[in-house]
């Protein structure tokens, strides 16, 4: 077999691919030249996982890479009909972000229960104001999304003493089906969105769903921004249909300074950082190198995405 060409859709800092020296012809591209470079690549590494360049460039003419790997859990940024219908294998970064995101969700739950945002604001104002906070042990959570990230969130919340129900695409042992979602939302103190973005999940958290929740409930989204109808969430918070929310992912990123979401009461906004711990890029690079070694040796690839469903099946 001739030396395969690995094309990297770049983002800074670049991935560490030294282990592939002499084993792959590594080329780099940006969005502007991706379309003309695709026909000459055997493998495409989507290191810039915030870019939609693959989705835009893929439908063009000529051969296409046999394998595409994205350094992210979600694949909606690159998937298009032509890629979904092709024989190209798509893999993702499943496994790198599970526990960091679970820890971030736990931090948000504790921050909201203990009213830490108000404490920090009052400290900045040099104001001493005693308050009572909420005990999390004994409360209930509904985690929507039963993949590795959702399961890690459920385990971590259970360690805090929170009774946790996991909702997935299909019902099975330990996982509730979508037909039970409204019932679980109505009982939950914490609702966590960790589902992939598909036709079934887009906009699933809307005015009706926020209306089902308890007035004391808090909502957290660490899945995809488009899972939430953000105007409906803003209205739910302004009208006190729910007690609070936290968004680590938004429908448009970065969130514009003029967005009204910044001023919504009891809403915590973070810049898509829940899975990004110190060293995360090195983990992503090492994961890809291991996958490349399997691919080059003809072994089955891990983390293969079902391109029609938009996620790795079997969880």
Active site residues: 224, 253, 272
Pairwise CA distance, residues 29 & 39, whole Å = 13
Give the CA radius of gyration of the chain. 21
Q: How far is CA 309 from CA 101, 118, 227, 233, in A?
A: 22, 41, 15, 26
111-126 in b/e burial notation, b at 16+ Cβ within 10 A? bbbebeeeeeeeeeee
Quick one: CA dihedral 94, 95, 100, 104, positive or negative? Answer: positive
d(CA 106, CA 112): 10
User: Residue 42 in contact with residue 10, Cβ under 8 Å?
Assistant: no
Residue 20 · residue 42 · CB < 8 Å: no
Identify which of 205, 232, 55 has the alpha carbon closest to the alpha carbon of residue 145.
205
Work out the angle at residue 153's Cα, subtended by the Cα atoms of residues 137 and 93, and round it to the nearest 5 degrees: 165
- CA dist., res. 168 & res. 171, Å (int): 7
By CB atoms closer than 10 A (0-12, 13-18, 19+), residue 253 is exposed
Contacts of 127 (CB under 8 A, 6+ apart): none
Structure-token pair, residue 104: 């971030």
CA quadruple 194, 197, 199, 203: dihedral, nearest 10:
60
């Amino acid at each position: 077999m001739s030396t395969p060409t690995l094309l990297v859709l770049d983002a800074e800092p670049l991935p560490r691919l030294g282990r592939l020296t002499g084993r792959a012809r590594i080329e780099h591209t940006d969005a502007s030249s991706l379309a003309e470079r695709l026909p000459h690549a055997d493998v495409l590494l989507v290191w810039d996982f915030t870019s939609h360049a693959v989705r835009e460039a893929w439908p063009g003419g000529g051969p296409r890479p046999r394998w595409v790997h994205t350094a992210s859990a979600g694949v909606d940024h690159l998937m298009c009909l032509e890629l979904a219908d092709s024989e190209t294998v798509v893999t993702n970064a499943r496994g790198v972000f599970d526990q960091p995101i679970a820890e971030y969700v736990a931090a948000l739950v504790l921050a909201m229960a203990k009213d830490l945002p108000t404490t920090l604001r009052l400290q900045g104002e040099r104001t001493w104001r005693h308050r009572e906070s909420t005990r999390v042990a004994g409360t209930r959570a509904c985690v929507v999304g039963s993949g590795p990230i959702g399961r890690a969130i459920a385990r971590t919340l259970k360690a805090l003493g929170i009774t946790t129900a996991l909702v997935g695409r299909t019902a099975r042992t330990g996982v509730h089906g979508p037909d039970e979602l409204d019932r679980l939302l109505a009982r939950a103190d914490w609702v966590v969105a960790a589902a992939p973005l598909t036709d079934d999940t887009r906009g699933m958290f809307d005015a009706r769903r926020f209306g089902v929740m308890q007035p004391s409930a808090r909502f957290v989204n660490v899945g995809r921004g488009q899972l939430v109808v953000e105007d409906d969430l803003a209205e739910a918070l302004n009208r006190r249909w729910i007690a609070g929310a936290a968004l680590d992912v938004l429908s448009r990123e970065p969130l514009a300074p003029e967005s009204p979401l910044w001023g919504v009461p009891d809403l915590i906004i973070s810049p898509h950082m829940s899975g990004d711990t110190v060293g995360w890029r090195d983990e992503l690079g090492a994961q890809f190198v291991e996958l490349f070694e399997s691919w080059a040796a003809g072994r089955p690839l891990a983390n293969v995405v079902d391109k029609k469903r938009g996620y790795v099946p079997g969880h």
